[in-house]
Structure 1
Amino acid sequence: MSEVVYRRIRRSIILGEFPFGSSLSETELARKLAVSKTPVREALRRLAQEGLVVTTPHKGAVVASLTVEDLEEIYLMRSRLESLAARFAAERLTPEDAKALGAGVEALEVQTSAGDTGAIRQLNIRLHQLIWRASHTTRLTQVLMNLQDYVEMSRSALLWQPRGAEVLLEEHTSIVRAVLDRDPERAEQMIVRHIAHLLEVLRLDRRPGAGRGA
């Protein structure tokens, strides 16, 4: 039961159902999940150890916020690790990997044309994961999967920019094309450029007075 409660609360935080800084009441969570406070308390303790939750004596737990400095650290790590994964993917690509990546880009093209923001976001994540899988590096893939949680929490603002979805499609297509061409250097460069672009958009989105759709 404790593991189930932990995973459900964690998933809600990652998906943004509990926004940054929001209070996590043990009583309310226990009621919502139909459990006692004990597994909720244990889940919040584990989440605090992961840095997803901040607990304060006599005040309880809140969802941890990501500062600009946090984002820069996360995206620097992501750039270094994911560019390595892209290089390995280009070097170790199998026919099955190539088929999956090609299908992923085609699906992204369809949803970009349809303007389905939710589907676009999920397909963006899926394409990155397919590249990690194509790298055939178990430990590197696991580290990137763990880092993905924080990337999700940052809620990339690129989709809210003019032509944001189209830009994402262009960047992901360039990355996948480099991998399919078995060009490690270009694949690495395209990933670094893509992640640098995302970080720049996030920096702008976090400026005082900045807002989506502004």
Structure 2
Amino acid sequence: MKPRVKLQSERLADKAYAILRTQILKGELPPGHALSVPELSRQLGVSRSPVREAVLQLVADGLAQEEARKGAVVAHFGLEDALQILEAREALEVASVRLGATRATAKDLALLNHVLQAQAKTIQEADLEGYQATDLKFHKLLGTLSHNLVLERMVGLLKDQSHLALESAAHDLAQLERGYLEHQAVLAALEARNAPQAARALQKHFKRIRESLESWLASDQTQPSTSK
């Protein structure tokens, strides 16, 4: 009976983690929000043990952090954090697409194409939340192309952190369109099985993201304060 109970507890922890992760990435649990185990346990309708495990996993994955006197809170990132995450993402995703240019299966490429079709629709509808969801999915799929499970996990974790770090950044329709076209360029190079071209296309994409982030933050810091 003991192994069965343990297995059930693990499943509950996984479910709790999945729910909390989704709420964090959607902004329903904002940066700095306290992840109170008793409160979350009541909200999710499960015991504290699996919730505690889920919160510990969120901390391990960089989506939450421990703070003195507050315990675990949803992670909040500064400019330097965001830029470092982008730098690490670029190194890993470029490595993945280099390998993926020869290792990716027809199914892998079809999935990427399907995501970009959905992304085009979000742009037509000016659906920022939908665009961000497809962006998250596209970049995580890039991490799978190498068929290296270690690389895939690292790309996935960093993309989650990046999504959280950049969620409050300004996005306009023109930027979404540029991002979509850059994604298309990466996919075209992968379909051509051209590793150097795929790497260059992805590096160009990351360069624009960095420049846009720096520009947005510089602009935001120069805005007059409305606080009294």
Corresponding residue to 2:106 among 95, 107, 131? 95
Instruction: Output the CA distance in 2 between the equivalents of 1:48 and 1:100.
Output: 30
Deviation at 1:67, TM superposition (A): 1.4
Maintained 8 Å contact 1:158/1:164: no
Structure 1 22/103 Cα, relative in aligned 2: closer, same or farther at 3 Å?
closer
Structure 1 61/81 Cα, relative in aligned 2: closer, same or farther at 3 Å?
closer
Bigger relative contact order (CA 8 A; separation at least 6): 1
Q: What is the Cα-based RMSD across aligned positions, in Å?
A: 2.7
Which range is displaced more, 74-83 or 42-51? 42-51
| Structure 2 gaps, min length 5 | 1-8, 224-228
- How many pairs align? 211
Identity %: 28
1:21 is matched with which residue?
A: 32
1:66 matches 2:77: yes
Corresponding residue to 1:11 among 12, 18, 22? 22
Deviation at 1:145, TM superposition (A): 1.3
Maintained 8 Å contact 1:26/1:41: yes
- Matched residue of 2:207: which SS? helix
Following TM superposition, where does structure 1 have runs of at least 4 consecutive aligned residues deviating by more than 6 angstroms? Answer: none
Deviation at 1:157, TM superposition (A): 6.1
Corresponding residue to 1:184 among 185, 195, 211? 195
Q: How does 1:48-87 map to 2 (within 5 A)?
A: 48-87=59-98
- Matched residue of 1:54: which SS? strand
AA of the residue aligned to 1:116: D
Instruction: Output the CA distance in 2 between the equivalents of 1:200 and 1:186.
Output: 21
2:120 is matched with which residue?
A: 109
CA displacement 1:150-186 (0-9 Å, x = unmatched): 0221235677235122111111111111111111111
Corresponding residue to 1:124 among 123, 126, 135? 135
Structure 1 135/35 Cα, relative in aligned 2: closer, same or farther at 3 Å?
closer
Which range is displaced more, 115-124 or 81-90? 115-124
Instruction: Output the CA distance in 1 between the equivalents of 2:169 and 2:113.
Output: 23
Deviation at 1:124, TM superposition (A): 2.0
1:160 is matched with which residue?
A: 171
TM-score, normalized by length of structure 1? 0.82
